[in-house]
Each structure stands twice: as structure tokens, then as C-alpha cells.
Amino acid sequence: MAFLPGGSLSGLLRGSPFKPIQEHMGVVFSCICLIPPLFDALYRKDQEQIYETAEQIKALETKADKLKSTFRLNMPKSLFLPVDRKDLLSLIGDQDHIADTAEEIGKILTYREMTVPKAIKELLDELLEGTMEISAEARDMTGRLDELLEVGFGGRELQKTSKMIAGVRRSEHNIDAIMHRTRKALFAAESELDPVSVIFWYKIIDLLGRISDQCENLADRFLLFLSK
């Protein structure tokens, strides 16, 4: 399929298929960076700011979707690279799922006025911090694709990337532990809370955990690259 004329993304594709993937991941990470401000507005019960931040996340998610679609439409049928075309298409799809999850969190907080239970406030802060950390690690990992290509997916760059993959997996394990404590604390406080709110809080906790799972999926995708 021919490249789109005059587009910056198509120009990047002519040079390296990794550049638009990295550009896409930058937009995805921007979505994640808005989650802490979203919860800060929730803590302050500022519904107007919640709505505004959720709209910003939605706009970035839409931008990520467009970048993903353009990448898929303009991806060459064959690549002289140590990475399969289908693997690159899967990689950008995995990245896009992260932005989708951020948007879903924003939607829930705009649909319903939520009050943060005191029992989970500190744990929620830990979970948000862990989410930012693992998302930054995933972004940095994607940023190494060009360096890996230059050395033929070997040498010292491979070692650095392998350490980054291991770091993402450690972070995901830590977040699992935080989620377990958060669910346990919420369960203990259920009798003091509105039952419908409890259901929504379990959903929000699960969505935050899903982001870490999706980042680990990216790490697994990179491990697949390195093993070929």
C-alpha cells in the first residue's frame, strides 16, 4: 500500500518503522500522565476538573487511535528487519490498549460522583505511583528500539533492554501486591460504604491494575523480539 503523501508519519515510516511506534507510545504515556491529576481532582471533589481532565485523556486516546490506524495502513508488506511485520502491528496494538484503559477510568469518574474511601486512600496513592513508574519503564523500553536495530538486536543494547524487561516485570509484581492490599482494605470497609460505590471502586482498582498488566504484555512482546 502506498504511503500517505506529505504526512510526517509516512515520512518516518520510510526511514524506520519504529519511529511512529515511539511517537504513538509518547501519546499513550501522555494519557497515563493525566491519571494522577484526575485522581487529585477526585480527592478535592472537583467534578468540573475531573470532567476536563477526562476529556483531555479522551482527546489523547483519539490521537493514539489515529496514529495506530495510520501506521497499520502505511506499514510495508515486507520489512528487511529482525522483527516481523505482524509483531510490530501487535506491539502498537498492545500500546493502544493502555490508552484505552486510561480513557475508561476517566469515563467512570465522569459518569458517577465518587468519594474516595479513607481506608484505601494511601494504598490508592501507592497504586497510582506504581502505575506511573511501570508506564514510564514501558515508554523507555519502546525508546530503545532504534538502538537495538542499529546493533542487530544484540550486544550491550540487548543487555540493557533485557534489564528493562526484567524491571517492568518486577514493577508488575509489586503492583499486584499493592492491588491485593487495596482490595483487602476495601473489602474490610465495605459495610461502611454505599454498595454501588464499592462495585465501582473494585472496577477502578482493576483498571489501574490492568495498565500494569498491559505494560508487562509490552515487555513480553520485546522479549519475543530478542529471542528471534
Residue-level length of the chain: 228
Q: What are the residue boundaries of the structural domains of the chain, listed by start? A: 10-227
- Supply the pTM of this predicted model: 0.88
Give the CATH H-level superfamily of domain 10-227: Phosphate transport system protein phou homolog 2; domain 2 (1.20.58.220)
CA distance 228 to 220: 13
The CA distances from residue 83 to 41, 52, 88, 143, 224, in Å, are 42, 40, 7, 16, 9
Backbone angles phi, psi at 144, to 5 degrees: -95, 0
For 112-133, write each residue's pLDDT tens digit: 899 999 999 999 999 999 999 9
Burial 192-216 (b: 16+ CB within 10 A, else e): eeeeebbeebeebbebbbbbbbbbb
The CA distances from residue 109 to 52, 147, 213, in Å, are 11, 40, 21
For 138-180, write each residue's pLDDT tens digit: 999 998 877 776 655 666 767 788 889 999 999 999 999 999 9
